[in-house]
Structure 1
Amino acid sequence: MRPTQTLRGGGDSVPIGKHGKFLGNWGNFGGMKQKGIVTYGIAPNRQNPLAGAAHDAVFNTWRRFSSQVLYWAPPMIAGYYIINWAIERNHYLNSKQGRAEFGGGEE
């Protein structure tokens, strides 16, 4: 004769696993209850996820920009002036005055 589910589970009808072992109550399947774990929660109506976001975005962006500007601004400015000089020089050399001045080739 086979014992009933109530007798196998110890009184309250608890699930028995695939291999006939007690799985545990809800929240602690397969082992003893853990101790020393503390969790905290806050109600959704008490949260303000964007508190100070605009203020922090402005000042954090300025802080990051000011700490990095000297690494990229001087090469960018130098590159702009070099490219601008090369474009103007190319326009001059391909103009009527440039061809008349240098004739066959640039010296």
Structure 2
Amino acid sequence: MRPTQVLRGGGGGAPIGKHNNFLGNWGNFGGMKQRGIISYGLAPNRQYPLAGAAHDAIFNTWRRFSQQVLYWAPPMIAGYYVMKWAIERNEYLNSKAGRAELGGGEE
């Protein structure tokens, strides 16, 4: 192995280009200009990044809601009716009629 190869690549595995030029590591190629690469762009003042966002938000929200409603609505409804029954029962048991029914007199 030549010492210059170690200095160029750090481990001896660095590629040497066609004309004995070091190409560089991945992401940092310093070789010859490449040909045949076409790039397209759009000016920032010609873009509309929120095109259709409100429309998509409404219909996407409805789709997600309709798919998930059966997972959370029945337990919520059941919990509401259980709490309603418990509150009414507590109010009855702490009323005059409820205390008389349980036999607990005022002492």
Structure-1-length-normalised TM-score: 0.63
Larger mean Cα displacement after TM superposition, 35-44 or 64-73: 35-44
Distance 1:48 1:74, change over 3 A: same
Structure-2-length-normalised TM-score: 0.63
Equivalenced residue count is 80
Taking only aligned residues, the RMSD between alpha carbons, in angstroms, comes to 2.6
Tell me, in whole angstroms, the C-alpha distance in 2 between the residues paired with 1:85 and 1:34.
77
Instruction: Give percent identity, aligned residues only.
Output: 84
1:69-93 C-alpha deviation (Å, 9 max, x unpaired): 0000000000000011011101100
Tell me, in whole angstroms, the C-alpha distance in 2 between the residues paired with 1:58 and 1:32.
51
- Whether 1:78 and 2:78 are equivalent positions in the alignment is yes
Q: 1:52-71 maps to which residues of 2 (within 5 A)?
A: 52-71=52-71
Tell me, in whole angstroms, the C-alpha distance in 2 between the residues paired with 1:35 and 1:98.
92
Alpha-carbon distance, 1:40 to partner: 2.6
Structure 2 residue runs without a partner (length 5+): 1-21
Amino acid paired to 1:70? L
